[in-house]
Amino acid sequence: MHSARIACVLARLYAGWLLGLALFKTLVAMVLVPGRRGLRRFEENYREDHLLALAPAEHSAQPSMSNCIACGRCEGGGAGNAAARMAGFHGLMSFMLSASRSMPDFPAAAGMISELDDAWLERMEARCPSGISFRRVAGVVRGYDRRLRNST
C-alpha cells in the first residue's frame, strides 16, 4: 500500500515537471523567436486558403449564421428580383450554405450577393423559419471579403 502511494506521488511530480518544462520551452521560444506564433502567423499560413482571423463582429455573428436548415423557403422570393436573375446568383439558400459552412467560400459568396440590396434581403428574412438575418450575414461576408482582398 505504501509503495503504491509513493508511485502515485512520483507520477504526479513527473507530470508536473513535464508540464513545467513545456511551459518553460514555450516561454523561451516566445522571447527568442518573436512573431513565430499568434494571429500574424495564422494569417501568413492560411491567407492563400482565404482564411483570416475573424473580426469581433464577424465572430459574434457566426452562431446565428449556422442556423440555416436548408429548407429552401428563402428561394421562393427570388424570381421578382433583378439581382436574382444575374449571372452568378444561385439563390439565397446557396448563398447561406456557402456563407455559413465554409469561410474559404466567402469570396464566392460575396460575389454571389454583390447586387442584392438590403430591402430584398429583409423581405426574405420574413420567410426564414430559423430567423436568420440575411442582411447581417451579407454584411459579414462582404466585410470579410473586403478585408481578404485588402490583405493580399
Give the model confidence (pLDDT) of 34-89 as tens digits.
766 677 788 788 878 878 888 888 888 888 888 889 888 888 655 445 555 565 67
Residue 43 falls inside a structural domain: no
- Rounded to two decimals, what is the model's pTM? 0.67
**Torsions phi, psi for 55 (to 5 deg):** -75, 160
Q: Measuring CA to CA, which residue among 142, 133, 120 is closest to residue 65?
A: 133
Residue 18 scores a pLDDT above 90: yes
Instruction: Write down the pLDDT at residue 80.
Output: 45
Mean pLDDT of 105-120: 83
Residue 70 falls inside a structural domain: yes
Instruction: Write down the pLDDT at residue 43.
Output: 79
Residue 49 falls inside a structural domain: no
Residue 99 falls inside a structural domain: yes
Task: List the domain range (segments joined by +) for residue 77.
Answer: 57-151
Mean pLDDT of 95-106: 82
Residue 90 scores a pLDDT above 80: no
- Count of the separate structural domains present in the chain: 2
Same domain, 61 and 133: yes
140 vs 55: CA distance, rounded Å = 9
96 vs 18: CA distance, rounded Å = 46
Percent of the chain scored above 90 by pLDDT? 19
Dihedral angle of Cα 36, 40, 44, 49, to the nearest 10 degrees: 130
Report the residue count for the chain.
152
pLDDT-derived band of residue 1, with 50, 70 and 90 as boundaries? low
Q: What is the DSSP string of 28-70?
A: HHHHHSTTSSSHHHHHHHHGGGT--PPPHHHHHHHHHHTT---
Convert 114-137 to b/e letters by CB count within 10 Å (16 or more is b): eebeeebbeebbeebeeebbbbbb
Instruction: Write down the pLDDT at residue 74.
Output: 85
What mean pLDDT value characterizes the chain? 83
Same domain, 29 and 61: no
Instruction: Write down the pLDDT at residue 79.
Output: 44
| Cell 478585408, located at residue | 147
Mean pLDDT of 137-144: 90
Mean pLDDT of 113-137: 88
